Amino acid sequence: MLIEITDRFMASQTNKPPQSPALERGARILDIVARSKTFLSLSDLSRELKIARSSVHSLCQTLVNLELLIRRSDQTFQLGPHVMRWSNAFTLQSDVATEFAAIWDQETGLPGATITLTVQDGAEVVYIAARNNERARSSLEFRVGMRLPAAFTATGKAFLSHMSDYEIRRLFAHGLPEPRTARSVRSLEELLGEMRDIRREGYSCDAEQVAEGMVCYGAAVLDGGNRPIAGVAVSLSIDANAMSNRRAVIDNVLRMAAKLSHRMGADLSIADETREDHAASQMQK
């Protein structure tokens, strides 16, 4: 029955681009294990998938190594802890994206502004929500799923500012990514200098580091443990009008980040104290 459900689903995807057979089979194994009311063996999975037991063994071993499956003492399988980490991340990102969508119109009345929400993935940020302003004169249109280097983006810099200098050095142990513009930060020492400014000021700035003619101001969104789970930014074309509203834009970003953080359960009074202590400790080094 389970394999029939999976097969019907896969049949509905026939118009989609070709998929990786091994990845597809691995995903089907996870689906079957998740839906089963009993723990399944290699033989059970082989029958459900209608593929050789040796192939199922190889796939399951990979899934066990990745902690996506756990092999029980009776040689049956259950879902592993890595699945829960994905589930928690999805829940957090979905919640913060929903809250972001609920407040972006009421919190931004800035002409020509583009508003984005990202999450960090290693040395990159991934855009999970974006409202591009049609009047914005920018060469870059933000899209959900877009990835950009954390070292250059306003939200990426906000994320990095919550890391220690040691953690940042380790993250960029092989150097910074290729610059996107002539203004992109070029050295790790220059990036660490920016981090000291962000920790002191409480907001980040990308001044034409991602796209020429565009400035972005960002801040981190914190969760119930006062850890950054997202970054919010407002982007504008660099012109006299935008620069005259610079303080209003920054205050707007900080207000959005604070509201989102509050809704995610952060204690902002403790967060402010932690930021100030972090900034002071880094200045002393």
Summarised one tens digit per residue, pLDDT across range 82-115 is: 887 787 676 666 678 888 877 776 655 565 678 8
Residue 13 pLDDT grade (very low, low, confident, very high; cuts 50, 70, 90): very low
Task: Kindly give, in sequence order, each residue whose CB lies less than 8 Å from that of residue 259, ignoring residues fewer than 6 positions away.
Answer: 103, 107
CA 250/CA 257 separation, integer angstroms: 11
The length of the chain in residues reads 285
Please name the helix (run of DSSP H) or strand (run of DSSP E) that holds residue 13, with its range, or none.
none
Which residues lie below 8 Å from residue 207, measured CB to CB, with a gap of 6+? 183, 215, 238
The number of beta carbons lying within 10 Å of the beta carbon of residue 180 is: 18
**79/91 Cα distance (integer angstroms):** 18
18 pLDDT more than 80:
no
Annotate 131-193 with three-state secondary structure: ECCCCCCCCCCCCCCCEEECCCCHHHHHHHCCCCHHHHHHHCCCCCCCCCCCCCCCCHHHHHH
Which residues are registered as beta bridge partners of 237? 214
pLDDT tens digits for range 181-238? 999 999 999 999 999 999 999 999 999 999 999 999 999 999 888 899 999 999 888 8
197 is written with which tokens? Answer: 């400014």
Q: Residues of 94-120 as b/e, b for ≥16 C-beta within 10 angstroms?
A: ebbbebbeebbeebbebebbbbbbbbb
Q: Which residues pair with residue 149 across a beta bridge?
A: 124
Domains of the chain in sequence order:
8-79 (1.10.10.10), 85-283 (3.30.450.40)
Q: Backbone dihedral region of 213: left (phi > 0), alpha (psi from -120 to 50 degrees) or beta? A: left
Going across the sheet that includes 228-237, the strands are 147-149, 124-131, 114-121, 228-237, 214-222, 204-207
